Amino acid sequence: MSYLEYNTAYTPTGFRKLLFLNWPVIFLITAVAGAGFLMLYSVAGGSITPWVEPQVKRFGLGMAMMLVIAMVPIWFWRNMAGVAYGVSLLLLLAVEFFGATGMGAQRWIDLGFMRLQPSELTKITLVMLLAAYYDWLPTKKTSHPLWILIPLLFIALPTLLVLRQPDLGTAILLTLGGGTVMFLAGVHWAYFASVIAAGVGTVWAVFEFRGTEWQLLKDYQYRRIDIFLDPTMDPTDAGYHITQAKIAFGSGGWSGRGFMQGTQSRLNFLPEKHTDFIFTTLAEEFGFIGAAALLLLYALIIVFCVASALSNRDRFSSLLTLGVAMTFFLFFALNMSMVMGLAPVVGVPLPLVSYGGSAMLVLLIAFGFVQSAHVHKPR
């Protein structure tokens, strides 16, 4: 498969490519990241240390990587999809054996200058591989059971490895992200219906086998679910996170308490206030207006990505862009649901806002592919 199969009447070259970038997406990403910097500044009590400075550096690095990736033709990345997937799978295995333990789970490898979380990387390489797979697969074979087993295997391998860490949040994101690409590629809806049925069955099994030898989740995961269902059950320990997050969120009111005036986060009532729960700080300080505005920014990013994907006649580009957009959507939707008490606390960061290197870099790399697809789309 070479670039020759693309019917490209005109492809920009050199620095002219910069003109063809999806600039609205870049502006939106910068705006969201900027909001993130503000919040990190606020939760640090009005200081750029310890969080804003490294976060800005990583954002700069990530943007540079995005632009570099955007300059490289999309068909190169399509050809690299298998390799990328393989590498990320190897890294996941490496974490299994050499990884350091953080927050009760083995998640990252210390590279010296940063801590790499292979599970983050896997979220994007899986989407890439599936997009490449369906690009290669003739459309009429899409719903053939045999050709469905292969992508299922692609999804299952990293998901199982991530679950072993254990990292429920990432496992859910991988499964949903992969499933979305398969759905977009046109796999027959009956498969999805049966998977959903199986999912419901699993949930039933999870609760049914609780406390037996066949228990499917770890005790702490059960506890998280219990507390999600009834946060008042344990207001000082695990339910404390949810209760305090809701108090912080609600106390923002319509217009918030003002920048740096959030008492809940500043006084440490909020758990993980700079990472997974940063949205509560934003909601507390900027109120409903601020929270809704961030949601709007996220929605616009999705809208521009979807528009780019739908206008792209290349199957790989289109699937990849939609897959990235969907993964991005799952990120913030899950995080927000979790913070607002609509979903159990599973440890998903707020994309581009939460403090953390791997997630930020991986997302910007993913948007690099989106940009590359946009720049190199058949015209």
Partner 1 sequence: MRRGPRDTAESARKISRRALVLGGAQTVLMGTLLWRMQSIQVDQGAEYRFLAEENRVKIRLIPPARGLIFDRAGRVLAENEQNYRIVMVREDAGDIGAVLQELTRLVALAPEDISRAIQEMETRRADTAVTIADRLTWDDIARVAANAPALPGVTAEVGLSRRYPMGADMAHIVGYVGPVSSYDLEQLENPDPLLRIPRFQLGKTGVESKMESQLRGAAGIKRIEINAAGRVMRELGREEGRSGADMQLTVDTKLQNYVQQRLGNDSASAVVIDVETGDVRAIASAPAFDPNMFVRGISVANWDALNERDTPRNQQKRPLAAKAVQGLYPPGSTFKMVTALAALEAGVVDPEETVRCPGHLEVADVKFHCWKRSGHGNINLHESLKQSCDVYYYDIAQRVGIDKISEMAKRLGLGVRHDLPLSAVGRGVAPDKAWKREVRDADWRIGDTVNASIGQGYVLSSPMQLAVMTARLATGRSVEPRLVQSIDGIEQPTGEGEPLGINDNLLRRVRSAMYDVSNHRRGTAFRSRIIADAFRMAGKTGTSQVRRITAEERARGVTRNEDLPWERRDHALFVSFAPYDNPKYAVAVVVEHGGGGSTAAAPIGRDVLLHALYDGLPPLEAYPSSERARVREQRRRMELRDFDAATESDRA
Q: Among 80, 156, 184, 260, which residue sits at the site for partner 1 (rule: CB under 8 A)?
A: 184
d(CA 140, CA 186): 10
Closest CA to 138 of 77, 99, 185, 198: 185
Phi then psi for residue 179, to 5 deg, are -60, -40
- Is 239 among the residues that bind partner 1 (CB under 8 A)? no
CB of 185 to partner 1, least distance (A): 8
**Which runs of consecutive H residues, i.e. helices, occur in 99-167?**
118-136, 145-163
CB of 60 to partner 1, least distance (A): 30
Residue window 314-353: x/- pattern of binding to partner 1, with contact defined by CB under 8 A: -x--xx--x---x--x---x--xx--x-x-----------
- Is 291 among the residues that bind partner 1 (CB under 8 A)? yes
1: part of which helix (H) or strand (E)?
A: none
- Is 193 among the residues that bind partner 1 (CB under 8 A)? no
- Angle, alpha carbons 92-347-62 (nearest 5°): 65
d(CA 126, CA 120): 10
CB of 332 to partner 1, least distance (A): 9
Closer CB to partner 1, 67 or 184, in the complex: 184
Q: Among 249, 331, 355, 369, which residue sits at the site for partner 1 (rule: CB under 8 A)?
A: 249
CB of 1 to partner 1, least distance (A): 7
- Residue that is written with structure tokens 């991986």 in the block: 362
CB neighbours of 207 closer than 8 A, spacing ≥ 6?
Answer: none
- Angle, alpha carbons 56-57-62 (nearest 5°): 95
Contact (Cβ atoms closer than 8 angstroms) between residue 29 and residue 365:
no
Q: Cis (ω within 30 of 0) for the bond into 166?
A: yes
CB of 142 to partner 1, least distance (A): 9
d(CA 63, CA 114): 17
CB of 243 to partner 1, least distance (A): 9
Contact region with partner 1 (CB under 8 A), list: 91-99, 291-299, 344-352, 354-362: 291-299
Contact region with partner 1 (CB under 8 A), list: 71-79, 117-125, 311-319, 361-369: 311-319
CB of 254 to partner 1, least distance (A): 6
Contact region with partner 1 (CB under 8 A), list: 58-66, 80-88, 119-127, 283-291: 283-291
d(CA 35, CA 214): 45
Phi then psi for residue 318, to 5 deg, are -65, -50
- Residue that is written with structure tokens 């003002």 in the block: 258
Q: Among 251, 259, 260, 300, which residue sits at the site for partner 1 (rule: CB under 8 A)?
A: 251
Number of H helices, E strands in the chain: 13, 3
Q: What one-letter code names the amino acid at 367?
A: F
CB of 287 to partner 1, least distance (A): 6
- Is 11 among the residues that bind partner 1 (CB under 8 A)? no
- Of residues 82 through 111, those in contact with partner 1 by CB under 8 A are none
d(CA 177, CA 169): 12
- Of residues 255 through 274, those in contact with partner 1 by CB under 8 A are 263-264, 267-270
- Of residues 123 through 152, those in contact with partner 1 by CB under 8 A are 136, 138-139
Q: Kindly list the residues in this chain that would bind partner 1 in the complex (CB under 8 A).
A: 1, 5, 136, 138-139, 180, 183-186, 244, 246-254, 263-264, 267-270, 283-284, 287-288, 291-292, 295, 299, 302, 306, 309-310, 313, 315, 318-319, 322, 326, 329, 333, 336-337, 340, 342
